[in-house]
A = this chain, B = another copy of it.
Amino acid sequence: MVRRGGGAPRRDDAGAPPGAGAAVTTTEFDLAEGIAVLERTPGVLRAWLADLPEPWIRADEGPDTWTPFDIVGHLIDGEETDWIPRSRIILAQGADRRFTPYDRFRHLRLADGATLGGRLERFAALRAGNLVTLRGWTLTPAQLALTGEHPEFGTVTLAQLIATWVAHDLDHLMQLARVMGKRYAAAAGPWRAYLRVLQS
């Protein structure tokens, strides 16, 4: 991002100035809108990462941080163990509505020998199947208000869980851009001062 040459006050081109968060209008969850994001994520990842040179795929932010390859593995874990299984616990409304903790590091332990291309396709297939399930439920507002028990937060609603599924996708797309962008923090030279991605 290149700042104008004139005398305008400096402003972060990448978005809101720090501290502007209070002005943001947040929105209640809308299932159809949420699904519109969820169904696009596999295609976004494929367009972004498929056949990308290996140094980008293996880039990280330092020790104990994730590469793009790791991020896709983590998204697969979510499809397999988190969003739909937890939704089922809520919808069943059994005596024990406590969720199994989400193992965020599962993908790092599974020595599955996967390639990035394989992970991208697996994620796409899992996501597609999970959206068939979600749409098939034709959830009512009353169902979206049903609750389960998060192991740390306590009571949460189905709407909050599915909204988090959406925001979680966006969180990791943000991470992906950040991890990759940081590789060029030095290469960009003095422009670093105007690119938030190089400062984060």
Contact = CB atoms under 8 A, between A and B. Distances in A.
Interface of A: 1-6, 11, 13-16, 20-30, 32-34, 36-37, 40, 43-44, 46-48, 52-53, 55-56, 59, 61-66, 82, 101-105, 150-154, 156-157, 159-160, 163-164, 166-168, 170-191, 195-200
A50 to B, nearest CB: 9
Given A44-B47, A166-B184, A190 B52 contact: no
A56 B44 contact: no
Complex copy number for this chain = 2
A21 B103 CA distance: 25
Nearest to A25: B62
A12 to B, nearest CB: 10
